[in-house]
Structure 1
Amino acid sequence: MSGGLSRATVTAVALTCKAFLNLGYCASVTVNGLPILLDAMNSDERNKGRGIVTVANHLSTLDDPLVWGLLPWRSYLKERTTRWALGASDIMFTNPFFSTFFRHGQVLETFRGNGIYQEAVDVAIEKLNQGGWVHLFGEGKVMQPDEYPEVDGIVRLKRFKWGIGRILMETNKPPLIIPMWLTGFDKLMPEGRPTPSKFIPRPNVHLSVTFGQPVPAEELTAAPSTLGPTNPTPDNSSDKPRIVHGSHRVPHGDGWMGQAVLRSSVGLRGEIDEKILERSEELARVRSEVTAIIQRDVESLGRSVSGDKLGKGGS
């Protein structure tokens, strides 16, 4: 990837987004907790290989990059202070022009159905090991509030993808994880509109972006100890290690949390599990729990902003 062309692409898009947010097209743009992200971006820990992961709900096709228009313009000039994101091949990389554009925009191409052991996930882990910043949409697709599932009277986000768990578990050091909550973007770009209006943002919408406090690493390290020697959590076959899809740029099952799982296995069974399949199942269970922890933290932030219904049924 050409560094100069990538920087020019990121800067041009970000400045366009900043202009959009500041020129009155939207009725209001409210930002809460931005210093949390800025402090993380400037942390000396990044020089020691501790990356940043931001995780948000996904309301519209404009969430990213529009949300990053609220950052100081100087942050657009360096890769270190701009995010890497994961983007679906069948949506964002559909022709040579779009493919080139998004790659230079620091988007990693992911393939639906290829599971969590694919090159884009490996590269995301590598970026974090270098102190980089990776942004994730937990649901893996646009989900507007009226689509949120309701279970036993409790509104939830769609189950987060287990790739989040793998990324967070397999970095060399615990990343700094910052939950985010977006509102109003579903009104800006409602789903289901016909062409060409579906490509045009609606004016006079109230937007808000909230950054929550970082998730304590202790929340994640507690995950192995909460899992007894029971049957593994049901896991899609696409989430099991499969050589055909894995690039092996990152050792699967390694990282700071992988070692914690091994130590937990010793405590649970009295010996280190030497069978690859059994260790894979143990990792899958912990990965599922880690992902659920992050989802709960994002939802908790969402309830503090949008109420118990997470904005579902709102006008």
Structure 2
Amino acid sequence: MSSLLSKLTVGTIGITCKTFLNIGYCSSVTVFGLENLVNALNSKERDARRGVITLSNHISTLDDPVTWGILPTHYFFNTRTTRWVLGASDMMFTNPVLSTFFRNGQVIETFRGAGIFQPAVDFAIDKLNEGAWIHLFGEGKVNQPNVDKHESNILPHKLLRFKWGVGRIVMEAVKPPVIIPMWLSGFDKLMPEDRPSPYKFFPRRGANLSITFGKPIDDDNVKATLKRYKSSLPYRHNKPQFSTPDEKLAKSTKEGWLSEAVVEPEDPPVSLTEETDRTRSKLTGLLQQYVEALGQEVNKRT
């Protein structure tokens, strides 16, 4: 029954968003590179539990789910072609009705300030390892740089530092996920954050929306970062020795796609905890660079 309710909820939201994008409320809706996502979602590799991650900037409260209204209608009723997304507990799960709605809408309740080892991130990793599609807003909150007033030097493609949970999800995937950077434009005009109540809760007419999907990130670039992590693991008799409570990461390092990056360790060895944090930060930063680079391309195009 819960699966049926979830399909009905996601399907209804998807059709509503598609209708919203097609009725002329927005001046224009342009989409670039959608085939990159479609190819990833329909790949046979997903049958072998290779997951998909989309990673984007976050410029309004309507980014999700309105963005997904661009997908074919039949995608909305298939859990294989609908995203899971992390959503803030204090925004979306504030009462039983909303909690039920968002859970059925494939939103993972996430607690601000609870860190990257909270159940929400564990759940996202588990879903990814089942071959699911996970969408991540790396900044962790809506970011609308004020480019019209005193902060005109802020580049529209410059993002807040991505949360380390992004790196953890990628590092602990059993198989290398397909990672697709995205860039959203115009949604900040659709839902400006600086409006007073009650206007801030209603979409503004006439926005020009743009949704761009980049090409999947090359696995080798990610592996190069993870290789530096592997090289710092403490070894004994050529076998990695783990002294961390993070059992998932230890298992992933021995059995998952991290195992492909095994090299001889540096001497003297670096603290495993410190090197894990350092590498997670580097990997998260690398993924952010891909998203920002896509934003640069979009802004040059416009």
Q: TM-score, normalised by structure 1?
A: 0.84
3-state SS of the aligned residue for 2:55? strand
Specify the code of the residue in structure 1 equivalent to 2:266: L
Question: Which ranges in structure 1 are unaligned for 5 or more consecutive residues?
Answer: 231-240
Look up the match of 1:269.
267
Look up the match of 1:280.
273
C-alpha deviation, 1:68, in angstroms: 0.2
Q: Give the percent of matched residue pairs that are identical in Structure 1 and Structure 2.
A: 51
Look up the match of 2:120.
120
Look up the match of 1:31.
31
Q: 1:159 to 1:253 in 2, by over 3 A?
A: farther
1:289 equivalent among 279, 282, 291: 282
1:166 equivalent among 165, 168, 174: 168
C-alpha deviation, 1:49, in angstroms: 1.1
1:21–1:29 contact (8 Å) kept in structure 2: yes
Look up the match of 2:73.
73
Please give the alpha-carbon distance, in whole angstroms, between the structure 1 residues aligned to 2:166 and 2:248: 16
C-alpha deviation, 1:251, in angstroms: 1.5
Please give the alpha-carbon distance, in whole angstroms, between the structure 1 residues aligned to 2:189 and 2:159: 18
C-alpha deviation, 1:195, in angstroms: 1.2
Question: Which ranges in structure 2 are unaligned for 5 or more consecutive residues?
Answer: 233-242
1:193-233 per-residue CA deviation (whole Å, 9 max, x = no partner) reads 11111111000110000000000111111114567999xxx
Specify the code of the residue in structure 2 equivalent to 1:143: N
2:132 is the counterpart of 1:139: no
3-state SS of the aligned residue for 1:6? helix
Please give the alpha-carbon distance, in whole angstroms, between the structure 2 residues aligned to 1:258 and 1:39: 25
Specify the code of the residue in structure 2 equivalent to 1:102: F
C-alpha deviation, 1:155, in angstroms: 6.4
Specify the code of the residue in structure 1 equivalent to 2:193: E
1:228–1:268 contact (8 Å) kept in structure 2: no
**Matched residue count:** 287
Q: TM-score, normalised by structure 2?
A: 0.87
Please give the alpha-carbon distance, in whole angstroms, between the structure 1 residues aligned to 2:155 and 2:52: 34
Look up the match of 1:298.
291
Please give the alpha-carbon distance, in whole angstroms, between the structure 2 residues aligned to 1:96 and 1:304: 42
Please give the alpha-carbon distance, in whole angstroms, between the structure 2 residues aligned to 1:289 and 1:142: 23
1:224–1:260 contact (8 Å) kept in structure 2: no
1:204 equivalent among 195, 203, 206: 206
The correspondence of residues 219-298 of structure 1 with structure 2, limited to 5 A, is 219-225=221-227, 251-255=248-252, 256=256, 258-259=258-259, 263-264=262-263, 266-269=264-267, 278-298=271-291
C-alpha deviation, 1:282, in angstroms: 1.2
C-alpha deviation, 1:76, in angstroms: 0.6
Please give the alpha-carbon distance, in whole angstroms, between the structure 1 residues aligned to 2:249 and 2:265: 22
